[in-house]
Amino acid sequence: MIKNQIGIISCSSIITQVRNSICFNKEYKLYPLVPSCMFSISSDLIRHVFDQACLENDVALLVYGNCHPDLQNILRQYSKRIIKLEGDSCWEMLLGKEIAQDYLAKGYWLLKNALCTTWRKEVFISYGANSEHGNLIRDCGTKKILACRFEPDKPKEQDVSSFSQAFGVPYEIRECDTSGFQHLVMNGVKTAGERISKGGFIQTKRDHSRCKTPIGTINEAKFKLNTLSNKLVFVSPKIFQLLGFLPGEFKRLYTSNPDGIFYFDEDTFRQVSTKRFSYFAQCLSRGIQLPFNIEYRVRHENGSVLWVRECFSPTYNNDGTLNPCFIGKLENITAWKETEDELKRLYQKETQLRVELEEEIKRRVEFTRALVHELKTPLTPILLASDTLSNMNGDNQWRPLVNSINHGAHDLNSRIDELLDLARGEVGILRVTSKPFQLNDAVGDAVEFYVAKAKLFNQTIACHLDSKLPKTMGDRKRITQVISNLLDNAIKYSGDNSQITISTRVEMNDILFSIVDNGPGISENRIADIFNPYKCSSNSHLSGLGLGLALSRMIVEKHLGRIWVTSKIGTGSAFLFTLPLA
């Protein structure tokens, strides 16, 4: 029969009082947790202690104040397994809420034995002892240091007196009764036992025991280290598979590194040893810590260099004292490190390529701008001159020639603008200003501009626009540019005496635009890349670099829309695009 267990997670500063309250009963396992009112501890450490207590017991009792900002949030995640004693602070638990609050209201700084002995140095540093500036105890208006004795002659008067001198505040020592605290703890234990009796915890524990992970793999070897003697008392035989050393050999190499056989170099040995002993000291003085992890290089018995990760965690006896034997493991992470190094190398290479690409893009944009400038400089006087000649009342003999020059100049100017916009779109700097607008208005702008051109070929433009069309969100000028490109192509390819039909309507959650012509149609193999730039028409008598449709797709997609074409040879083509509703 599995015996129900209750774990007690206690603030390290009052763990002695907790032991006394349960009369050192080994049935309850204690888990010391460093006080967050004194030290900066992570939420991960609290979860680590909670996990350990929950895995090893049916339910856990938390004897800890609300001094950590994330404690309540973490507790909610363990609400079915951990019961917290009432009290916002350890002092409210030890003395009772009313007495503790009364002392604080009087301006007393409450002191207990652990602060005077175990954490004396940390307290002096944290609170600015022997300092004219930064003495938190004096500067906060503390009237008195009140040392509470829960055990005979603890804290000692000389220790309390040294606090008084260091902080410049008078002191008083009072003998305190812990019967109320003992009653509080035992009531908590009783509540925990009642919760166990309701069921749920025993089954959870049994399920966990059936799911234990098999010990060791070919890439790791476990060991047990006695921190008092600094010797390995057990090494898994898998150490031979991992590092090529027999267990007896590895015990000697682990803590002494004779002739530099195991550790990569002397600096590695010193650094690893120092960090180990520092971790041991923290576990001894502060309670449970997060597992120890360190990565370093070692030498295999055959001389090859490996990367290993060393991990171990402290174990505590049921009374909360530290067990000197730590369980740990060594894991071969050479492949992982090599992958990490390769990823770093690839990242650096990718970064360099990205810089080079950005420079190339910058040069391309600058070249395109320079090209546009060079093309527009001689074109500007041609446009001005042709516009002037077109508006002059003169001999009609030259009118067709003047109009041809004027139309050609404006067409070339449009192509130059498209070239610049396309370059901007390809490098992601094409600007789109998003505002609500009526798509029918944009259609009207484009038709008004091109109706004269259509009449030159005896073409008619029929508009079937939804009069109740809602507004769309986007850049009206850019969408007008798209419609103009599509309408210009329809006029260009439809031929004489043809009809071009434009329509708008709502379809699902989008606004749909379509333009249908009576042109020669587009073959299926051309449709696949018709929206790609620099794909010229197969009709030799029609000009263009294929920039208009590529630019139209960029603009529509920037509006989160979609553009496509349907066509049949001999009957014409339909270009459609969607825009989202405003």
Count CB-CB contacts under 10 A for residue 151: 14
Contacts of 165 (CB under 8 A, 6+ apart): none
pLDDT given for residue 436 in this prediction? 93
Cα angle: 443, vertex 449, 454; to 5 degrees: 100
Q: Label residue 316 exposed, middle or buried (CB < 10 Å: 0-12, 13-18, 19+).
A: middle
pLDDT of residue 201: 44
* The pLDDT of residue 394: 64
Instruction: Express each pLDDT in 37-90 by its tens digit.
Output: 888 899 889 988 888 888 788 889 999 999 999 999 889 888 878 999 999 999
Total number of residues shown for the chain: 582
Q: Quote the pLDDT of residue 543.
A: 45
**DSSP secondary-structure letter at 397?**
G
| pTM more than 0.75 | no
Which tokens is 248 given? 């007896």
Q: Which pairs from 76-83 meet CB under 8 Å and 24+ separation?
A: 78/50, 78/54, 80/200, 81/50, 81/54, 81/201, 82/9, 82/50, 82/53, 82/54, 83/59, 83/188, 83/191, 83/192, 83/195
Task: State the virtual CA torsion across 166, 169, 170, 175 in degrees, nearest 10.
Answer: -80
What is residue 373's predicted lDDT score, i.e. its pLDDT? 65
What φ, ψ does residue 483 adopt, rounded to 5°?
A: -60, -40
Bridge partners for 510 per DSSP = 507, 580
Q: Which of 343, 329, 326 is nearest to 280 (CA)?
A: 326
Positions in the chain short of pLDDT 50: 1-3, 200-217, 538-544
| CB-CB neighbours of 465 under 10 Å | 17
Provide the phi-psi class of 260: left if phi over 0, else alpha when psi is between -120 and 50, else beta.
left
Would you say 448 and 400 are in contact if contact means Cβ atoms under 8 Å apart? no
Strand, helix or coil for residue 419: helix
Encode pLDDT of 310-341 as tens digits: 998 887 777 778 888 888 889 999 999 999 99
Structure confidence at residue 3 (pLDDT): 43
Return the residue matching tokens 């992982």: 336
Peptide bond into 170 cis (omega under 30): no
